[in-house]
């Protein structure tokens, strides 16, 4: 029999690697007219199998399909005189992952989450989607310093643009609200997604960056490093240390919506300090041992603390504060984000079997069970939910 995958004939039983981008098409051509009832139960419904005639069946898998390989236990001929005992079609993805987007209404649909769009993208050490979900930035962190240079993938055309920056790996890569790319390594690089090379904003090699966070309007980048937190002015390239900060921990970074305040974790006490950007003075301290820190779309911040739970699947405690230090809510889970109106809660990275998942809850309907989403979820600028999942290496 003949097996063609994406138009290329393959030897029966031989493993085929595909990138999955744009979907994967499999055509099976049998050496005799077959009894379709002996084949149909073994064909994946996600491939939308369609028969051309009694000898040829076509499967068209969407790029969001998690697994492509399949086997047919026994193929019988129409006349009952011939058979094939076993057909194996082993197909595997090259390193990739699926990005899927949901509206809130579709995520909470009565019949289960309904995806609005999905794209399979090449795996990099880190992936960041642009605010309008038209492009994806692929780059490598110090954990994988020998990878390719940073690239931008255009989701509509699937074209790749290599971005020239002298650093081999980056502590942070992301997008500013205006669609420019920001990369932070031993230097800070900035420019349009089509710019080759990116513009060198500042040399921060002395900082030894471990993480970074741009401010909401893109005026600054807060950079955590070996000696503490520094602020890089993205307009003029000036760099200054945040008074009182020190290194040796991952301090977490959270900006107020108006860019006037930056919150960070004091490595000496693990309390959260809030610094006035203009005066470089600590204006507020939130006491308590903090393990993580993030800004929320609501304009508040959330601090991760030990919940006291132990064992596999133990959850952390997330405490929401306003930037004036007022406690507003507490949640058990792993990591969290609230919708801009404060109504919907994403619990991100829920544990355990089968890979990471997230859940979404309607806080105005406390009796409603959280709905599971297949991957790591985040809010988009326009209030949709982006889920990174179906990871393969």
In the sheet that holds 316-321, the strands lie side by side as 292-295, 301-306, 316-321, 327-333
Q: What are 300-331's pLDDT values in tens digits?
A: 999 999 999 988 778 999 999 999 999 999 99
Q: What are 201-235's pLDDT values in tens digits?
A: 999 999 999 999 999 999 999 999 988 999 999 99
CB 175 within 8 A of CB 181: yes
Residue range 13-35: mean pLDDT, rounded:
93
Percentage above 70 pLDDT, the chain: 95
- Give the pLDDT score at 85: 94
CA-nearest of 63, 118, 179 to 387 is 118
Instruction: Provide the token pair at 6.
Output: 């994406």
pLDDT band at 88; cut points 50, 70, 90: very high
CB 177 within 8 A of CB 131: yes
Q: What are 25-52's pLDDT values in tens digits?
A: 999 999 999 999 999 999 999 999 999 9
Residue range 347-372: mean pLDDT, rounded:
85
What distance in Å separates the CA atoms of residue 35 and residue 81, rounded to the nearest whole number? Answer: 11
Question: Helices (DSSP H) in the chain: which residue ranges?
Answer: 104-107
CB-based contacts of 329: which residues, under 8 Å, 6+ apart? 319, 320
The mean pLDDT value of the chain amounts to 91
CB-based contacts of 346: which residues, under 8 Å, 6+ apart? 336, 337, 338, 358, 359, 360, 377, 378, 379, 385
> How many CB atoms sit inside 10 A of residue 225's CB?
22
- Could you give the domains of the chain? 2-93 (2.60.40), 95-118+334-393 (no CATH)
CB 149 within 8 A of CB 165: yes
CB 108 within 8 A of CB 101: no
Instruction: Provide the token pair at 84.
Output: 């094939």
In the sheet that holds 135-139, the strands lie side by side as 126-129, 135-139, 151-154, 160-162
Query: What's the pTM value of the predicted model, to 2 decimals?
Result: 0.85
CA-nearest of 311, 390, 331 to 357 is 390
What distance in Å separates the CA atoms of residue 76 and residue 97, rounded to the nearest whole number? Answer: 37
Q: What are 176-200's pLDDT values in tens digits?
A: 999 999 999 999 999 998 877 889 9
What distance in Å separates the CA atoms of residue 77 and residue 83, rounded to the nearest whole number? Answer: 6
Buried b (16+ CB within 10 A) or exposed e, 106-119: ebbeeeebebeebb
CA-nearest of 232, 377, 216 to 298 is 216
Name the β-bridge partners of 89: 70
CA-nearest of 100, 92, 86, 25 to 56 is 25
């Amino acid at each position: 029999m003949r097996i063609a995958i994406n138009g290329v004939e393959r030897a029966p039983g031989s493993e085929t690697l595909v990138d999955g981008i744009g979907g994967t098409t499999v055509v099976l051509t049998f050496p005799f007219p077959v009894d379709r009832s002996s084949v149909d139960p073994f064909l994946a419904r996600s491939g939308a199998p369609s028969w051309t005639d009694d000898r040829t069946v076509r499967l068209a898998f969407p790029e969001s399909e998690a697994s492509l390989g399949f086997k047919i236990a026994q193929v019988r001929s129409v006349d009952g005189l011939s058979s094939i005992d076993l057909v194996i079609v082993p197909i595997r993805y090259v390193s990739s992952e699926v990005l899927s987007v949901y509206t809130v209404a579709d995520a909470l649909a009565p019949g289960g989450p309904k995806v609005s769009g999905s794209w399979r993208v090449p795996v990099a050490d880190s992936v960041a989607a642009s605010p309008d979900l038209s492009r994806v930035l692929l780059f490598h962190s110090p954990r994988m310093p020998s990878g390719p240079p940073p690239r931008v993938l255009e989701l509509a055309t699937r074209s790749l643009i290599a971005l020239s920056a002298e650093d081999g790996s980056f502590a942070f890569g992301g997008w500013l609200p205006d669609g420019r790319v920001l990369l932070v390594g031993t230097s800070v690089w900035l420019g349009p997604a089509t710019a080759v090379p990116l513009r060198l904003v500042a040399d921060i090699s002395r900082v030894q960056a471990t993480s970074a966070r741009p401010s909401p309007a893109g005026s600054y980048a807060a950079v955590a490093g070996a000696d503490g937190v520094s602020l890089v002015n993205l307009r003029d390239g000036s760099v200054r240390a945040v008074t009182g900060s020190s290194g040796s921990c991952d301090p977490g970074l959270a900006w107020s919506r108006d860019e006037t305040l930056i919150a960070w974790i004091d490595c000496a006490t693990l309390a959260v300090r809030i610094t006035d950007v203009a005066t470089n003075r600590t204006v507020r301290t939130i006491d308590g041992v903090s393990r993580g820190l993030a800004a929320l779309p609501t304009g508040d911040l959330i601090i991760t603390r030990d919940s006291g739970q132990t064992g596999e699947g133990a959850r952390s405690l997330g405490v929401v504060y306003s930037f004036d230090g007022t406690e507003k809510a507490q949640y058990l889970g792993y990591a969290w984000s609230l919708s801009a109106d404060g109504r919907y809660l994403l619990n991100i990275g829920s544990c355990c079997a089968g890979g990471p998942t997230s859940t979404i809850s309607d806080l105005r309907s406390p009796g409603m069970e959280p709905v599971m989403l297949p991957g790591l979820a985040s809010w988009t600028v326009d209030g949709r939910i982006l889920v990174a999942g179906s990871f393969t290496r």
